[in-house]
Amino acid sequence: MPLSERIENAVDRALALSQGEQAPERLSGALVYATTPGGARIRPTILLSVAKACGDDKPVLSDAAASALELMHCASLVHDDLPCFDDADVRRGKPSVHRAYSEPLAVLTGDSLIVLAFETLARTAEVDCTRATKMILSLTRRTGMPNGICAGQGWESEPKIDLGAYHRSKTAALFVAATEMGAISAGHDPEPWYDLGALIGEAFQVADDLRDALMDASSLGKPAGQDDLHGRPNAVSEWGVKGAFERLSDILAGAIASIPSCPGEAALAEIVRMKAQSIMPKVPAGNRV
Amino acid sequence: MPLSERIENAVDRALALSQGEQAPERLSGALVYATTPGGARIRPTILLSVAKACGDDKPVLSDAAASALELMHCASLVHDDLPCFDDADVRRGKPSVHRAYSEPLAVLTGDSLIVLAFETLARTAEVDCTRATKMILSLTRRTGMPNGICAGQGWESEPKIDLGAYHRSKTAALFVAATEMGAISAGHDPEPWYDLGALIGEAFQVADDLRDALMDASSLGKPAGQDDLHGRPNAVSEWGVKGAFERLSDILAGAIASIPSCPGEAALAEIVRMKAQSIMPKVPAGNRV
């Protein structure tokens, strides 16, 4: 089964846990709206690719991990879009959750998706309790405080930003969760997989900054120029467009070089190379790099 | 060690996990602010009381469960106080988190505390993996969708409220988590403990509705008359003050009668009786019941 199909099936199964006859209908709808149809599903794709490279001996675990990670990512998008943060009207080409439903339902959608992510992982304990709790611990570390995506978003409320910590936690953390949980799901030690996640995350951040600076809202599927608008530190303001492109290539080369020795090492390198190609921003006509 | 001391120590240990040199300082501070000093810590007190009644053979587990439950409760208070919900200026006698810090930091404080609750539980897997994951599953069910406190809050966005489902999920759910997790932490089956949690939760909801209707803000430590103001269904509008008091007594008697047969049954009944006394609202001078 192609990875994309495994991911959609796993997300659907996880979402089904959140639905029920006695549940409030609008919030139920908002959970589905916030998670389907998905974006590129790049984090769970990396997770499953790492799991496959490690043998993927218990696909029930890697599927659950993939959906949990994607739910957590969607939760972060819903909360980041709230009026008190980005105040984004559009996400993935349709109205953001607080625009389509309401602000209270957007807060609750994020909260519910966070909880659902952990429920999805905890349910795999009957297959392998040790791996289940290790995956839960990885996800908590990469999402909460002091080093997860909550911390990353928290840096934007500081008078003085630690840029390294900001980027590591804001964007790289969930990619680290992807490589760590992929390894754990297949019974491998997560530690050697940290660098791959961190480097892919860094590449993603730079690519995102470039897109934010170079593209317009209709191509992005969300408002453009947000970094400048909110005065947020970003790769383009730091190194310029050309410098950011060079940096992106270097990071991706480092990511491929960092892949630990494992049964599916070569295939995984090929996947990272392809994903790298797909995140490389296109320079719009008229813009010179 | 008195239960109150165990709870404060456990909350402090859990909070310590969220702090770090590389963490954003204001969000770190907001997590501590939102959780200490505590309120009555009634949910973790019930949890530890049930654990003791069941033998409490692994206090590391019951302590972690107590702190996780309290963190989750605090997270719900921080999010419920947000401008898009209750817009509460005051909580536990001091400015609410979004007033003291900011709205973005209040959203992130809630998110971080939810994640921290699961981290705290997952860390006990090295002591007892099966119990750890069962506790995580109980907490996810009682907090997320379709039946947890997120669902409860979600009902307030529905055009037509299912009153039974609303009360069960909005208030009773975390008391059910208290009795279930207390039992699980001591290696007991959680199922027979459902009723005790549900009934204590129901009593709490009625007592809270009575306090909201009868008391002023300075005695409550938070704004009074919120139910009427927001047109929320409540016990006083349904049964009147006298009827609500009668209902409260009946529910508490039922709660005590529901306690499953266990080593510490009599002692637990006494604790529930005392807690019942402490939640019984005082009728202010001049109000007739």
* Confidence label for B289 from pLDDT (cuts 50, 70 and 90): low
- Please write the tens of the pLDDT for every residue from B18-43: 999 889 999 999 999 999 999 889 99
* Confidence label for B183 from pLDDT (cuts 50, 70 and 90): very high
Domains, chain A: 3-279 (1.10.600.10)
Average pLDDT (B86-99) is: 96
What's the per-residue H, E or C state across A26-51? Answer: HHHHHHHHHHCCCCCCHHHHHHHHHH
Separation of alpha carbons A163 and B188, rounded Å: 48
Separation of alpha carbons B150 and A105, rounded Å: 10
* Confidence label for A278 from pLDDT (cuts 50, 70 and 90): confident
Average pLDDT (B170-176) is: 94
Long-range Cβ contact pairs of A88-94 (< 8 A, separation 24 or more): A88/A222, A88/A223, A88/A226, A89/A223, A90/A217, A90/A221, A90/A222, A90/A223, A91/A221, A91/A222, A92/A37, A92/A38, A92/A39, A92/A221, A92/A222, A93/A221
Which comes out higher in pLDDT, residue B216 or B110? B110
Where would I find the H helices in chain A? 3-18, 25-35, 42-53, 59-80, 97-100, 103-122, 129-143, 149-155, 163-167, 173-185, 194-214, 217-220, 226-229, 235-257, 265-279
pLDDT the model gives residue A217: 64
* Contact between B27 and A169 (Cβ < 8 Å): no
Stretch 107-126 of chain A: residues touching chain B, C-beta under 8 Å: 107-108, 110-112, 114-116, 118-119, 122-123, 125
Which of the residue ranges A99-103, A128-132, B238-242 would you say has the lowest mean pLDDT? B238-242
Separation of alpha carbons B104 and A156, rounded Å: 9
Half-sphere exposure of A136 (CA within 13 A, CB side): 35
Average pLDDT (B139-168) is: 94
* Contact between B266 and B196 (Cβ < 8 Å): no
pLDDT the model gives residue A225: 72
**Element (H or E) spanning A128, and its range?**
none
Q: What is the CA radius of gyration of chain B?
A: 18
Cα first-last separation, chain B: 40
Contact A125 B123 (CB under 8 A): no
**Whether the predicted pLDDT of A288 surpasses 60:** no
Please classify residue B242 by burial: count the beta carbons closer than 10 Å to its beta carbon, then call 0-12 exposed, 13-18 middle and 19+ buried: exposed
pLDDT the model gives residue A227: 72
**Whether the predicted pLDDT of B220 surpasses 70:** no
Residues of chain B with pLDDT > 90, as a percent, come to: 74
Of A18, A85, A130, the CB nearest to B146: A18
Which of A22, A111, A181 is the mutation pick for testing B, counting most B CBs within 10 A?
Answer: A111
The residue behind tokens 């009599």 is B266
pLDDT the model gives residue A284: 65
- What is the DSSP annotation of B201-233? HHHHHHHHHHHHHH--HHHHTS-SSHHHHTT--
pLDDT the model gives residue B278: 81
> Quick one: which of A154, A132, A133 has its CA closest to B120?
A133
> Quick one: which of B216, B119, B194 has its CA closest to A137?
B119
pLDDT the model gives residue B285: 62
Separation of alpha carbons B172 and B174, rounded Å: 6
Which of the residue ranges A45-49, A216-220, B136-140, B240-244 would you say has the lowest mean pLDDT? A216-220
Separation of alpha carbons B32 and B22, rounded Å: 16
pLDDT the model gives residue B256: 94
* Contact between A172 and A193 (Cβ < 8 Å): no
**Whether the predicted pLDDT of B192 surpasses 90:** yes
B243 touches chain A (CB under 8 A): no
- Please write the tens of the pLDDT for every residue from A21-43: 889 999 999 999 999 999 889 99
What's the per-residue H, E or C state across B243-260? Answer: HHHHHHHHHHHHHHHHCC
> Quick one: which of B123, B125, B102, B283 has its CA closest to B210?
B283
- The angle subtended at Cα A8 by Cα A5 and Cα A11, nearest 5°, is 145
Please classify residue B25 by burial: count the beta carbons closer than 10 Å to its beta carbon, then call 0-12 exposed, 13-18 middle and 19+ buried: middle
Q: What are phi and psi of B91, to 5 degrees?
A: -150, 130
Distance from CA of A242 to the nearest CA of B (A): 30
**Whether the predicted pLDDT of B288 surpasses 60:** no
A232 touches chain B (CB under 8 A): no
Average pLDDT (B216-239) is: 73
Residue B164 CB neighbour total at 10 angstroms: 9
Residue B230 CB neighbour total at 10 angstroms: 12
ipTM here: 0.93
Contact B27 A151 (CB under 8 A): yes
- Please write the tens of the pLDDT for every residue from A83-115: 999 999 999 999 999 999 999 999 999 999 999
Stretch 15-54 of chain B: residues touching chain A, C-beta under 8 Å: 18-20, 22-28, 31
Contact A153 B104 (CB under 8 A): yes
Which comes out higher in pLDDT, residue A138 or A164? A138
**Whether the predicted pLDDT of A289 surpasses 90:** no
Average pLDDT (B184-195) is: 98
Separation of alpha carbons A211 and A241, rounded Å: 10
Average pLDDT, chain B: 92
What's the per-residue H, E or C state across B157-200? Answer: CCCCCCHHHHHHHHHHHHHHHHHHHHHHHCCCCCHHHHHHHHHH
Query: Which of the listed ranges B106-115, B208-217, B260-269 does the model predict with the highest average pLDDT?
Result: B106-115
Of A79, A102, A141, the CB nearest to B107: A79
Separation of alpha carbons B52 and B34, rounded Å: 28
Stretch 80-109 of chain B: residues touching chain A, C-beta under 8 Å: 82, 84-85, 101-105, 107-108
- Please write the tens of the pLDDT for every residue from A233-260: 788 888 899 999 999 999 999 999 999 9
